Structure 1
């Protein structure tokens, strides 16, 4: 379900709806194994789908430039249709071009006669940052119209010059009558908060406009703002993030009247997140106040059509009835080993005053070692924990007791008493969890072990706990 090319990894995704399909352009991170091969630039590759379950791989469609080209690296951008012609705008970068402060970034342009797999670059249309902006951050052009017949607009991840770094970020804006000539306009958003806002994306949904961006100042997250107009003011909803650390650079696409956020779940090397990984998709649902809820696409859920009930056995004197804990203890129950590719669904009724509950994933037989999806009603949050957190040993500090969970994988999550559903999509080491079809948390874990249930200082009534395999 989390697509990855046979060779390489998925970086920033540029989704485009066209001709009855979703075309997912992406930055191909090839990570060559041979360090003597020399540096190679980054191209755009393409995969397409109609259901986010089955994919067609179209390979590289926008090759990287040669060693001295301004687009040695072809970085993030956008694709739009103007009649029968398609326009692709992207960021050009070359580490050998620039100043002592870093290499420049420029906006580049390519066109197609309608085939998303065939593009012609237009080098004469290339342009860099105007005066007043840092030339090293002039990237991720997103092109749109607010209505048919209106001028084209382009927004970019940019930074003002001579401003403290963490307040320099601005969503710059340009306008054009023809997608060739661009003039600087008033910025779309000046938050005075970030180094910059990567991968900006703008769309209208009903009476609301949405500005989506990814930031790496306060946290590595994709966030969004809402407005009643396409020009702002851009207000923060109560839940302004799409996911946690492990769902980055998400951009959106409308397909058959639905809105999807497409990003990537990074690989890890030890405790370090890497750039690029596996493609990941969330479907957005709009709440009455404009806030967005996020869940797994219904086609993905439907692909897991062989559900089986999980039989749980109590551990350490817990009640034989799973979920019936106690007001003064931790209680847990363990089930069988789950397949590495499956959909786990837990539905519970949570008793008032319950401190925490959740699932043990890839657990040992005694439940002592596991990845822990912990829902905390008293804090209204969902977190990922891990035991052991660090290496075990004779000293107390070795258990990482001052790190209560993976702090970059914490999500705000309303959890009043009553019924709640937790879905967990396991796809080898790649995973996505969704609570109540509203709150998403992507993560990585070791793909082997048992599933379990736990409750701390409280009780839940287990309505069902099922594991479903994919029949496709």
Structure 2
């Protein structure tokens, strides 16, 4: 699955399988920016397809920032993709806007009926609910976390897991798994978080997976957002169901440690594989996608 673009950095990514083709979606930004830190507010959503998940053919970008004013007129960030019963694709994604200098994150969606061209289908973006989640205001030195929607079907409803933060908690302990639910993928109700404050200030790009009967929450958090900084970027917590509860404080980190925004995926043959983007190696941001690792070859390390 490796992907290395000479002219663009690529980082957070995910895969959808429509039964005929695998669809790879990935954040991308031009290497002409020179400083990789600048990539976040220049990000668009790239797209590639493959019949076997190995050799990828680039397609036009799935989503780029919209013309303003709009919730997504500054940059497009991470999400997930659902294959609907009619075979069409719905991409859920994070948008940030110029209006708040990119400090407020909201969730939108776009549809494709041909697997190539995506049209926005959001009437109103999904926002964090201040009853349960921290809202941004200019006095705060950090952003309003409401990003990385992971959408899946469970017990007759669609569920969305969201990277979120609760108010009134020390910044590096306030990360939670936000939650929303829908019957039709169009109308969403924001619910209380599925996890509480822990040793992590953010649970980025979280996924709920069941591997060999074990419920797992996969998420990412670097040492800059850990209450007790240490090694590890991608983390795995065990749980009791697809909706938790999970033992987040008991999470173990993934080795190799240079991977970030980890994804646990099952291929058509039923094999579970792990992937993430090549992040920092020898002090330099890489911004490429490696080949997936068989899940059984991934080491899970308990923090000290």
Fold-level similarity (TM above 0.5):
yes
In the alignment, does 2:223 pair up with 1:223? no
Q: 2: CA distance between counterparts of 1:91 and 1:168?
A: 20
TM-score using structure 1 length: 0.54
Q: CA deviation at 1:191?
A: 4.6
In the alignment, does 2:191 pair up with 1:185? yes
Residue of structure 2 aligned with 1:144, choices 144, 152, 155: 152
Q: Is residue 221–residue 244 contact of structure 1 (8 Å, CA) maintained in 2?
A: no
Q: CA deviation at 1:138?
A: 0.5
Q: What is the match of residue 279 of structure 2?
A: 266
For 1:309-352, what per-residue CA distance to the aligned partner results, in whole angstroms no more than 9, with x for missing partners?
xxxxxxxxxxxxxxxxxxxxxxxxxxxxxxxxxxxxxxxxxxxx
Residue of structure 2 aligned with 1:77, choices 62, 79, 100: 79
Q: 2: CA distance between counterparts of 1:32 and 1:19?
A: 36
Q: Is residue 107–residue 127 contact of structure 1 (8 Å, CA) maintained in 2?
A: yes
Q: What is the match of residue 298 of structure 2?
A: 294
Q: What is the match of residue 153 of structure 1?
A: 159
Q: What is the match of residue 62 of structure 1?
A: 63
Q: 1:258 to 1:238 in 2, by over 3 A?
A: farther
Q: Is residue 125–residue 180 contact of structure 1 (8 Å, CA) maintained in 2?
A: no
In the alignment, does 2:119 pair up with 1:120? yes
Q: Which runs of at least 4 in structure 1 moved beyond 6 Å after TM superposition?
A: 236-239
Unaligned stretches of 5+ residues in structure 1: 286-292, 296-410, 414-472
Q: CA deviation at 1:239?
A: 8.2
Q: What is the match of residue 87 of structure 1?
A: 90
Mapping of residues 453-472 of structure 1, within 5 Å: none
Unaligned stretches of 5+ residues in structure 2: 136-143
Q: What is the match of residue 202 of structure 1?
A: 208
Q: 1: CA distance between counterparts of 2:177 and 2:248?
A: 16
Q: Is residue 247–residue 280 contact of structure 1 (8 Å, CA) maintained in 2?
A: no
Q: Is residue 128–residue 190 contact of structure 2 (8 Å, CA) maintained in 1?
A: no
Q: Is residue 15–residue 252 contact of structure 1 (8 Å, CA) maintained in 2?
A: no
Q: What is the match of residue 46 of structure 1?
A: 47
Of 41-50 and 71-80, deviating more is 41-50
Compare the two structures and name the one with the higher strand fraction. Answer: 1
Q: 2: CA distance between counterparts of 1:274 and 1:49?
A: 27
Q: 2: CA distance between counterparts of 1:32 and 1:172?
A: 35
Q: 1:19 to 1:52 in 2, by over 3 A?
A: closer
Q: Give the total of aligned pairs.
A: 281
Q: CA deviation at 1:241?
A: 2.3
Q: 1: CA distance between counterparts of 2:3 and 2:263?
A: 16
Q: 1: CA distance between counterparts of 2:273 and 2:67?
A: 34
Q: 1:190 to 1:34 in 2, by over 3 A?
A: closer
Q: CA deviation at 1:14?
A: 1.6
For 1:375-400, what per-residue CA distance to the aligned partner results, in whole angstroms no more than 9, with x for missing partners?
xxxxxxxxxxxxxxxxxxxxxxxxxx
For 1:401-450, what per-residue CA distance to the aligned partner results, in whole angstroms no more than 9, with x for missing partners?
xxxxxxxxxx859xxxxxxxxxxxxxxxxxxxxxxxxxxxxxxxxxxxxx
In the alignment, does 2:211 pair up with 1:212? no
Report the secondary structure of 1:231's partner residue.
Answer: coil
Give 1 or 2 for the bigger CA radius of gyration: 1
Q: 1: CA distance between counterparts of 2:188 and 2:51?
A: 34
For 1:229-250, what per-residue CA distance to the aligned partner results, in whole angstroms no more than 9, with x for missing partners?
2232323799822224311001
Q: CA deviation at 1:111?
A: 1.3
Q: CA deviation at 1:275?
A: 7.1
In the alignment, does 2:177 pair up with 1:171? yes
In the alignment, does 2:265 pair up with 1:253? yes
Q: What is the match of residue 138 of structure 2?
A: none
Q: 1: CA distance between counterparts of 2:64 and 2:70?
A: 12
Q: 1:93 to 1:12 in 2, by over 3 A?
A: same
Q: CA deviation at 1:93?
A: 1.0
Q: 1:32 to 1:125 in 2, by over 3 A?
A: same
